[in-house]
Structure 1
Amino acid sequence: MSIFTVASRYAKSLLELVQEQGNLDAVKTDVEQIIAVLKSNTEVQAVLKNPIISGDKKRGVLLALFDNKVNPLIVSFFTILVNKGRAAILVDILQEFIREYNVVKGIVNATVVSATALSEENLKNIQAKIASEIGAQVLLKNKVDASVIGGFVIRVGDKQIDASIAGKLQKLDKYFVSQGV
């Protein structure tokens, strides 16, 4: 079974349980904080992924970091994951939880790639335009890539709008090649 499939199953279970208890938004905030802590601490990641380290030690590390700091349901969830031998994919499970949360809340992730960082005003305008087009709340990230040259590339799910100079140059190049020029 793939990591994605396993992570998705655990994430959905946690999401359903949290929804039943009415703590969805609070748990989502805790999960985001946990992901940030785990991603910034490579030693903890190494402990969780090491098959030689006992489940008790892994559980102890997670409890030391998060007990009485996050929703008790999450701490119980950690215990289940460790007992099932899934501590190595904890970050994957939590990221999948965030993705599932976004689906439930109708939130769509989008990325705008530009040659230079866009102003807050430009980002808000693009975000509002995308939201009105797709009829959903949009979380917009700005990535800077100098190879775009100018303009921007917007990605929403599996759709892409390429309004970059680099994209237009590529289209022009393909046209000339197809014409034998």
Structure 2
Amino acid sequence: MFEFITIARPYAKAIFDFSLANKDIEYWQQTLTFIAKVVVDKKIKKIFPRGLSPKDMYTIFNAICGKKLNKSAKNLIKLMAENRRLEILPTVLDEFIKLRNIHESLAKVSVISAINLNSKQLTDIENILEKFLSCKVTLNHRIDISLISGFVIKLGDLVIDNSISGRLSNLTKILKS
């Protein structure tokens, strides 16, 4: 996965910059979502054997997508087929969304709790995080009873673990060292 991210980032950045310059970010996110779904489809994966030429890959992909792609999107597919990078399109989409969220000052945060949090608790967490991060926050809440008690907040690489299981894990590490 690390290799895919490394390769996908420049593509995502170029696509994002292009979409920003042309004021069509939404089109590109929808297009990348569509073509990423095409790439991961099991039936499509069978069509693209390793020995297929880039031109044939582009022709087949173009035929599958039909008129859903504009000229620029077709050029992207052609370039990625020539570089044998079609399989990284889902990662390109993920990186594109990250760039869009940064541009729009939007953070998607996961809140994992041991019990169900009510709407006031979630709103309070959202408000605190918006002040802390200085951006709009959207929360994704889920329950994980293995936490025993407390919660874990995840935003990319940032993890705030205020759970009993997290504290027990840290204590175990300290006692073992």
- Specify the TM-score bucket, using the shorter chain as the normaliser: 0.7 to 0.9
RMSD of aligned residue pairs (Cα, Å) = 3.0
Give deviations 1:107-148, integer Å, cap 9, x for gaps.
223211223565566544433331222111223323443311
The aligned length equals 175
Q: Name 1:13's counterpart in structure 2.
A: 14
Q: Name 2:91's counterpart in structure 1.
A: 92
- 3-state DSSP class of the match of 1:51? coil
Matched, 1:52 2:51: yes
Q: Distance in 2 between matches of 1:140 and 1:72?
A: 36
The verdict on how the C-alpha distance between 1:47 and 1:139 changes in structure 2, with shifts beyond 3 A counting, is: farther
The verdict on how the C-alpha distance between 1:95 and 1:171 changes in structure 2, with shifts beyond 3 A counting, is: closer
The verdict on how the C-alpha distance between 1:27 and 1:59 changes in structure 2, with shifts beyond 3 A counting, is: same
Query: 1:58 Cα shift?
Result: 2.3
Q: Distance in 1 between matches of 2:60 and 2:23?
A: 28
Query: 1:53 Cα shift?
Result: 2.4
Query: 1:97 Cα shift?
Result: 1.7
The verdict on how the C-alpha distance between 1:60 and 1:116 changes in structure 2, with shifts beyond 3 A counting, is: farther
Give deviations 1:2-55, integer Å, cap 9, x for gaps.
43232111111111111111111232233234434544x23324545x422232
Percent identity over the alignment is 25
Q: Distance in 2 between matches of 1:128 and 1:33?
A: 33
Q: Distance in 1 between matches of 2:125 and 2:74?
A: 39
Return 5+ residue gaps in structure 2 as ranges: none
Whichever residue aligns with residue 77 of structure 2, its letter is: F
Q: Name 1:63's counterpart in structure 2.
A: 62
Q: Name 1:43's counterpart in structure 2.
A: 43
Does the CA-based 8 Å contact 1:108-1:157 persist in structure 2?
no
Moved more, 71-80 or 19-28: 71-80
The verdict on how the C-alpha distance between 1:154 and 1:114 changes in structure 2, with shifts beyond 3 A counting, is: same
Does the CA-based 8 Å contact 2:39-2:89 persist in structure 1?
no
- 3-state DSSP class of the match of 1:67? helix
Q: Name 1:31's counterpart in structure 2.
A: 32
Q: Distance in 2 between matches of 1:8 and 1:112?
A: 27
Q: 1:92-111 to 2 correspondence within 5 Å?
A: 92-111=91-110
Return 5+ residue gaps in structure 1 as ranges: none
- 3-state DSSP class of the match of 1:95? helix
Does the CA-based 8 Å contact 1:102-1:108 persist in structure 2?
yes
Structure-2-length-normalised TM-score:
0.77
